[in-house]
Amino acid sequence: MSRKSPLRARARAIVAALAGAAALVAAPGATRADPVADFYKGKQVQVIVGYGTGGGYDVYARVIARHFAKHLPGAPTMVVQNMPGAGSLRAANHLYVNAPKDGTAFGTFARNMPLLGVLGGNKNVQFDPRKFTWLGSPSSAQDDAYMLFVRKDSKVNTLAKARDPKGEPLVIGGTAEGATGNDIAFLIRDTVGLNLKLIAGYPDGGAIFIAIERAELDGRFVGLSAVSANKPEWLKPDGIVRPMLQFARRTRHPDYPDVPTARELAKDADARRLIELAEIPYMLSRPYAAPPGLPADRAAALQRALQQTTADKEFLADAAKLGLDVSPVGPDEAMDMLNMLAEAPESLKEQLRKLQSGG
């Protein structure tokens, strides 16, 4: 009996210790290991921007990066990396093909990149937009508009002049093939009847702003929020430009009730349907996505972090100072929009393919 007592005592002690540990794990509020926080702690997360510095996408990304880490477990360091090229196609391809698929990289690219991917026909596109890990967008553009701004001293400074097929063309600027402003220029040319001449190849939006100020160009298509953030003086009564047309809006922007929408100016019902299809990506105004194939828990953490960032009071204050629209779109809504594009009638998608090629 005396020899067995120490063994029994040890056994009881082990059982008691295990029971205590189990109770601690099960207890409400008990500290638990967080594999996502453990992964991100001490790491850097790249925020890849498909444009150069100073443009609307860059401004949004830098404000988001400033507040994002505190909503991501492990509070990693956020590093913004500009990757301009091919109207942000370079960045979209990089995110899909080359960026690490472990949750340490996500980015933003032109709002029409998903449309470019859904339509196909561009040999340079290396991604399937529906396979990205979608985080959503800080803006649905509900308070924004994609405007055609034109210099007030341009020879073609009214809508009537711009629609005159025998008059001088309105010279506008764009970046590389596939860029948002380029595609919309071709679309508006064909559906609204504007006499446009596109000068493509500018490295980024900042360079186009400068070209307009130097009167090298008559104008450009650009988001109202981008102008507000980068060239707020343009929006003043004595600014050098005036808005001629609104795109990506069902109704006129309340601040510009005298500026018609593209839908209003469509030449016929088919043209209007084409405009409506092309406007879908603009509801995902500033798309954010991570590479495909992320671990599910890290993907969910990134998605949650973007949603929490866009509700963060300090982020909202920073965004308000810069005139940035904040009307978030979640990842599920983003996928719904992509599915709407993919399931559109083939006849409409074929027309958009022709327009994207400049046809």
pLDDT digits (tens, 9 = 90+) for 217-254: 999 999 898 898 889 999 999 999 999 999 989 899 99
Determine the residue type at 179.
A
Q: Calculate mean pLDDT across residues 76-90.
A: 94
Q: Is the pLDDT of residue 268 over 70?
A: yes
pLDDT, position 175: 82
Coil vs helix vs strand at 345: coil
CATH 3.40.190.10 spans which residues of the chain? 146-281
The span from the CA of 179 to the CA of 121, in Å, is: 15
Q: What rounded mean pLDDT belongs to the chain? A: 89
The model's pLDDT over 196-216, given as tens digits with 9 standing for 90+, comes to: 999 998 888 889 999 999 999
Residue 63: both structure tokens together: 């404000």
- pLDDT tens-digit map of 20-31: 544 444 455 444
Q: Give residue 24's pLDDT.
A: 44
> What CA–CA distance (Å, rounded) separates 275 from 263?
7
Identify the pLDDT of residue 126: 97
**Using only C-alpha atoms, what is the Rg of the chain?**
25
The sheet with strand 146-151 has its strands ordered as: 196-199, 170-173, 219-223, 146-151, 241-247
196-199 vs 170-173, strand pairing mode: parallel
Is the Cβ–Cβ distance between 76 and 110 less than 8 Å? no
Is 212:239 a contact under the CB 8 Å cutoff? no
Please check whether residue 181 is in contact with residue 222, taking contact to mean a CB–CB distance below 8 angstroms.
yes
**How far apart are the C-alpha atoms of 297 and 122, rounded to whole Å?**
33
Q: Residue 300 — left, alpha, or beta (φ > 0 → left; ψ -120 to 50 → alpha)?
A: alpha
**Contact (CB, 8 A) for 141 and 166:** no
Confidence (pLDDT) at 176: 67
Spatial contact of 227 and 149, defined as CB atoms under 8 Å apart: yes
Helix (H, G, I), strand (E, B) or coil at 165: coil
Which pLDDT band, with edges at 50, 70 and 90, does 16 fall under?
Answer: low
CB-based burial label for 193 (10 Å; 0-12, 13-18, 19+): middle
The hierarchical CATH code for the domain 38-140+284-356 is 3.40.190.150
What is residue 324's predicted lDDT score, i.e. its pLDDT?
A: 87
Architecture of domain 146-281: 3-Layer(aba) Sandwich (3.40)
Please provide the DSSP assignment of 214-259 as one string.
Answer: TTSSSEEEEEHHHHHHH-GGGGSTT-SEEEEEEES-SS--TT-TTS
pLDDT confidence tier of residue 86, bands split at 50, 70 and 90: confident
Nearest Cα residue to 200 out of 180, 227, 228: 180
Burial readout 117-152 (b: 16 or more C-beta within 10 A, e: otherwise): bbbeebeebebebbebbbbbbbbbbeebbbbbbbbe
Provide the pLDDT for residue 125. Answer: 95
Q: Is the sign of the CA dihedral 147, 150, 151, 152 positive or negative?
A: negative
Strand ordering across the sheet containing 44-49: 77-82, 44-49, 105-108, 288-290, 133-136
Q: Higher confidence at residue 114 or residue 9?
A: 114
DSSP state of 103: S
Residue 79, pLDDT above cutoff 60: yes
The CATH 3.40.190.150 domain(s) of the chain lie at 38-140+284-356
In tens, the pLDDT along 276-327 reads 999 988 888 899 999 999 999 999 999 999 999 999 999 999 999 988 889 9
